[in-house]
Amino acid sequence: MKRPLVLHLKAALICALVAIVLALPLLWFPLLPSWTGWRPPMVSPRIEAIVAVIVALWVAWCVVDIPRMSLKVLVWLATLWLLGGGIWLAGLYGYPSSSLVPLTAAGLAGAGGLFFSLSPAGSRRARWQSLVGCRVSPEILRARIEERHLGEDPRAEVLAVAEVVWPTGGGSDEAWRDFSGLAARAAAHFQKAGGYLERCDAEGALFAFGCWGQDAPSSSLVGALWQWVKNEGGSAALARGECVSGVGHFPPASRWTLAGSPLRKAKRMASTARGYGAGLLVEESLADEVSGDWSSRRLAWWDFEGERVLLREIIGSATDEDPKRAEELRSWDRAWDAFWNADWAAAENAFADLARGRNDAAARVFALRSSAARRAAPVK
Q: Domain spanning 151-318 has what CATH number?
A: 3.30.70.1230
Higher pLDDT, 127 or 329: 329
Residue 164: exposed, middle, or buried by beta-carbon count in 10 A (0-12, 13-18, 19+)?
A: buried
Q: What is the pLDDT of residue 2?
A: 46
Distance of alpha carbon 67 from alpha carbon 347, whole angstroms: 63
> Per-residue pLDDT for 25 more than 80?
no
Task: Respond yes or no on whether the N-terminal peptide bond of residue 252 is cis (omega within 30° of 0).
Answer: yes
Higher pLDDT, 85 or 290: 290
Distance of alpha carbon 162 from alpha carbon 101, whole angstroms: 59
Distance of alpha carbon 157 from alpha carbon 262, whole angstroms: 11
Q: What is the pLDDT of residue 102?
A: 82
Mean model confidence pLDDT for the chain: 82
Beta strands at 235-249 and 204-209: parallel, antiparallel or unpaired: unpaired
Mean pLDDT of 29-35: 64
Beta strands at 280-283 and 235-249: parallel, antiparallel or unpaired: parallel
Q: What is the pLDDT of residue 177?
A: 59
Q: Provide the CA 12 distance to its chain's centre, in angstroms.
A: 31
Q: What is the pLDDT of residue 76?
A: 86
Q: What is the pLDDT of residue 162?
A: 94
Angle between helices 4-23 and 101-118 (to 10 degrees): 140
> Per-residue pLDDT for 210 more than 50?
yes
Distance of alpha carbon 186 from alpha carbon 278, whole angstroms: 19
Q: Provide the CA 331 distance to its chain's centre, in angstroms.
A: 41
The string of DSSP letters for 303-333 reads EETTEEEEEEEEEEETTS--HHHHHHHHHHH
> Per-residue pLDDT for 93 more than 70?
no
**Domain ranges for the chain:** 4-122, 151-318, 321-380
Q: What is the pLDDT of residue 73?
A: 86
Percent of the chain with pLDDT over 70: 86
Residues in Cβ contact with 91 at an 8 Å cutoff, skipping those fewer than 6 apart = 97
